[in-house]
Chains A and B, each alone.
Chain A
Amino acid sequence: MEFSAPFFNEFAETWSRQDGYRLARTLSPEIPTEQLRKIYMSQNAHEIRNTLKRGLQGNAALVGGIEHAEVQGWVEVYAAYWNATGVILAARESSGDDSRASQLTWTKVYEAWTELLNLLLRGYQNAGFEAWTIPCLYVVSKNLRTFAIMADEERNSKNPIDDSAAANLQDDFDPETNKHQKLEDCARVLGRVFTLCQADRAPIEESRKWGSYYIANLLLKTYFKLNSASLSKHILNSLRAGRGDMPDFSAFPKSQQVTFKYHQGVLAFLEENYGEAEEHLTDAWNLCHKNAMRNKELILTYLIPCHLITSHTLPTEKLLEPYPRLQKLFLPLCRCIKRGELHKFDLALQEGEDEFVKRRIYLTLERGRDIALRNLLRKVFIARGFEEAKEGEKPVRRSRVPVAEFAAAISLGSQEKIDNDEVECLLANMIYKGHMKGYISRQHGIVVLSKSGAFPGTRV
């Protein structure tokens, strides 16, 4: 909306209603180019501040309700926004324009937008911006991240080698560090925004603490993108430490809860705390909007491997039905595990390796081999049938199994001979991990399985 009467009325209106989300819309860059141009053309650099000042101070609805310093703060914010619209326009127009191909237009957008965010921050720190306006912070922060990514992409595509890296005299240099130059900068700025929210000591009702989770989510997302998930630790710690003064987690918008729980779950997953990961991811799953398919897919990507480890359970086909991508990812493996097809499992794992590694679930899924092996051994046990039943007694399975029989089963799929010592090693592992109850008698080359529940949890 260009800076004329309707805009000032809108500002005053949101002000009297204290509608932060509506106010935030006036700071969004996600509007059609035409509208953007209108805003930019309606003013010039000399007049913008005066226009804004007059408009805000002169508005009847605002008179008396707003401090002078605060007006001044908003004037600066909107002036910066106006400035940014010009740069965004230039960037949008230059895309596809080869004559300006060498210019880093999105870098300029990123810089102009950083300026806007800085002025907004200053508004909270010095000009007394109220907490209900924090949706403005959301919109500006969220777009800062977007612009940072666009700036990095543009730079990497235009000049892959940045010579500022050569200026580095440090013993350890990394040619990759520049790849995410702006996004890293963005992470730092967002860190400041997070602190601004988190460190507010005002009473809860009017505290910026309400913004903590939104910004934390943005930060976590950024850290993941930067491949430095470990940095997320201090965000979680800070939130945990401040929990006493925070509104209850369930009081935050559901969307923020879901995102946060998801991130928390994935972080625990990466640290191999599968129990904790399962808990967080399950929370996220339960809170997630039923139509948010993409989000549900993301949650399942980690929740399914979690279940494989914690409770040895596999997803049903019905669960995966709406997610073709997940079917492709998990179904082949699941089938092999269920049938105890060890060799096919190895092949399926190899087949999907790139995808699995990319999603950081490879090392977890690999452990599903244990379950596949258990199911295979279980089949051997069942195939051996029962002891000759004595009269009046329940039939008992034949519990003394030669190692060689297990060995035959294991090499059945791959057609490769596996020596008995290695089979014993695998069996020992099964016993040690509690997948199988019994013991190996090396002397006799047999495995003596428990008569009551040789394979715990499988009703055998």
Chain B
Amino acid sequence: MMPTWPAAPPPSGVQPSNGYTASYSAPAYTTVQVRQSFGQSYSTPQPSYPVAHACSHPQSPSPNPANIAPNVTTAPPAAQEQAKSKIDWPESVRRYVQRSFMPANLDPSVPRQEMEAKLKQTITQAHENGVMYSLDWDTMPLPQHMIREERARSLLPLHSKPQAQTPYPVAGTGAVSKKRKSWDLTDTAAPTSTSASPPWRNGPGRLEDRVSFSSDKRQPGDELSKHTSKFSRADKRQKRTDGEYKTFREDTPPPSEGPVVGTCQELEKRYLRLTAAPKPSQVRPPHILRQTLELLKKRWKRDQNYSYICDQFKSMRQDLTVQRVRDDFTVEVYEIHARIALEKGDLGEYNQCQTQLKALYKLGLKGKANEFKAYRILYYIHTANRTELNNALADLTAAEKKDKAIKHALDVRSALALGNYHRFFQLYNETPNMGAYLMDMFVGRERLAALCNICKAYKQDVPLRFVTEELYFESDMEAAQFIIDHGGQDLLEDRNNTIVFLTAKAGQTFEGPRAAAFSRVDIKGQI
């Protein structure tokens, strides 16, 4: 049985970038039939390929034959059926088939029938996509491996839940349930959240005034706009679950295929979670992705539009993944995305990149391994993950321990372990790279801890300036605000034009907020 998929809608020449404006009130989706499995889809001709993969803007599919890869077979199904017997199989495919049936490679848990079906499907699909000759069949996973892979994947709870799908990604949230969870966490609990913003985030003169990744500085207004947009996003999500957007639900786990060789020439592409095998015509090959990266770097500098950038980076990562590109360039993409996510406090996305980077460095790929190892340590300090922290320590070599960034992170760790807040805040001031964004996440709770210390140890009072300096506040104002925000309004007194902090009177004032600040991290269920 031959596939009856028509060729995918070719990418349009124009990619409107204004599609990323904040409002998604007019969702452009096309209801498509759910494809339960490949077997079915072969017998049921589909009028159009789900827009999920279209590089083009879904609303303006303007076929442009010039963009179709030259070797894509465009013959109508009937013709293909006839052509089948005449196909001259390349030697590499023959070898692949042979390899599949080699006794050593047979998998007793995979029935022969199923395996044959899979093999057939793989080859016909390659044929249909016109990559029969270009695919590297020698490194192609065997059908039994693919089946096992699929099985394993279908067992993952991640995929067991039906997934609502909209053709538009709701900016930055992604569509994977795991991802969504982390966003929900951010929305409700995590210290990084903006909707439930921890007090220290609201104070004036935050760190970004001192440190910034790019020439642009985080604007105070930025916080606010992000705040509201996330609300509307949550709103949207709610609507979606209420069924306001009538989209199909997808039950099947994403099928796995061999590596795709992309042919897409577009630079930009929206991220959509794959629900079917990726189409080569919608996947950008590495040389295009390199151009994309350059473009995105420029865009980020110019526009600072995080939802756009995050979305674009996710689609880049996806293209790299489906093509199994794991080289220095992959590392670069993940590193840049991680840095941007860090700057924007998007710990969920950052964490994904970090996990992937760890694996990539382990493969021996070059990159800024030390910079990211340092972030990793700071991240574990933030999440108070002792086990991982110990693992991270165990993984460090003597040379790495001397690296400036890693040494800094280790010093931070040890200062905190020993309660040496004086040293901690000095280190906070000298954080290399972008570690300060991570330290921002826990500097508030450490200030509370230090305040508790000071209140218990100092009698009768200390000048407010002392608190400002020890806890590295920008100004006396900020320090005072911090104290007031945590219930210490009665502890400040103006005495001969200097403000003193009445430590002796504090009692248990800061113990409550301290405990709360430290317990909040535990909720973050990430590594």
Contacts and interface: CB of A to CB of B under 8 A. Distances in A.
Contact of B146 (A167, A272, A432): A167
A271 B387 CA distance: 8
B386 A171 contact: no
Interface stretch (A128-136, A311-319, A437-445): A437-445
Contact of A422 (B141, B146, B363, B422): B422
A173 B141 CA distance: 15
What is the size category of the interface that chain A forms with chain B? 35 or more
Contacts of A416: none
A425 B470 contact: yes
A370 B418 contact: yes
Interface in B380-398: 386-387, 389-391, 393-394
B456 A229 contact: no
A432 B455 CA distance: 9
Contacts of B82: none
A78 B423 CA distance: 67
A159 to B, nearest CB: 13
Contacts of B30: none
Contact of A167 (B145, B363, B419): B145
A174 B359 contact: yes
Contacts, number: 113
A428 interface: yes
A357 B149 contact: no
Given A167-B145, A439-B459, A440-B458, A362 B393 contact: yes
A336 to B, nearest CB: 15
B256 interface: yes
A431 B457 contact: yes
B141 A425 contact: no
A363 B141 contact: no
Given A360-B390, A432-B453, A421 B418 contact: no
A442 B420 contact: no
A308 B167 CA distance: 59
A69 to B, nearest CB: 26
Interface in A242-280: 270-272
Contacts of B421: 425
B420 to A, nearest CB: 6
A442 B462 contact: yes
B149 A426 contact: no
Contact of A175 (B149, B153, B363, B422): B363
Interface in A167-221: 167-176
Contact of A428 (B317, B394, B457): B457
Contact of A441 (B142, B362, B422, B459): B459
Given A357-B394, A362-B393, A425-B421, A175 B453 contact: no
B62 interface: no
Contacts of A425: 420-423, 453, 470
A260 to B, nearest CB: 21
Nearest to B414: A366
A358 interface: yes
B417 interface: yes
Contacts of B420: 422, 425-426, 429
Chain B contact residues, majority secondary structure: helix
A164 B145 contact: yes
B417 A367 contact: yes
A138 to B, nearest CB: 28
B456 A171 contact: no
Interface-centre pick from B356, B386, B454, B458 (highest chain A CB count, 10 A):
B458
B52 interface: no
Interface string B131-155: 0000000010110011001000100
Most central of A271, A362, A421, A429 by chain B CB within 10 Å = A429
A442 B359 contact: no
Interface string B145-176: 11001000100000000000000000000000
A270 B386 CA distance: 8
Given A357-B390, A428-B454, A433-B419, A169 B317 contact: no
B130 to A, nearest CB: 21
A432 B387 contact: no
Interface in A404-460: 421-422, 424-429, 431-433, 439-442, 448
A173 B324 CA distance: 11
B349 interface: no
Contact of A172 (B355, B362, B469): B355
B466 interface: yes
Interface string B436-459: 000000000000000011101111
Nearest to B149: A167
A369 B415 CA distance: 12
Given A172-B355, A428-B453, A442 B458 contact: yes
Contacts of A357: 390, 393-394
Given A363-B417, A439-B457, A448-B459, 4 more contacts: A362-B393, A363-B389, A422-B423, A440-B457
Interface of B: 139, 141-142, 145-146, 149, 153, 256-257, 317-318, 321-322, 324, 352, 355-356, 359, 362-363, 386-387, 389-391, 393-394, 414, 417-423, 452-454, 456-460, 462-463, 466, 469-470
Per CB-CB distance, the 5 closest pairs between chain A and chain B, nearest first, are A167-B141, A428-B457, A425-B422, A439-B459, A431-B457
8 contacts: A357-B390, A358-B394, A425-B423, A431-B453, A431-B457, A432-B456, A439-B459, A441-B460
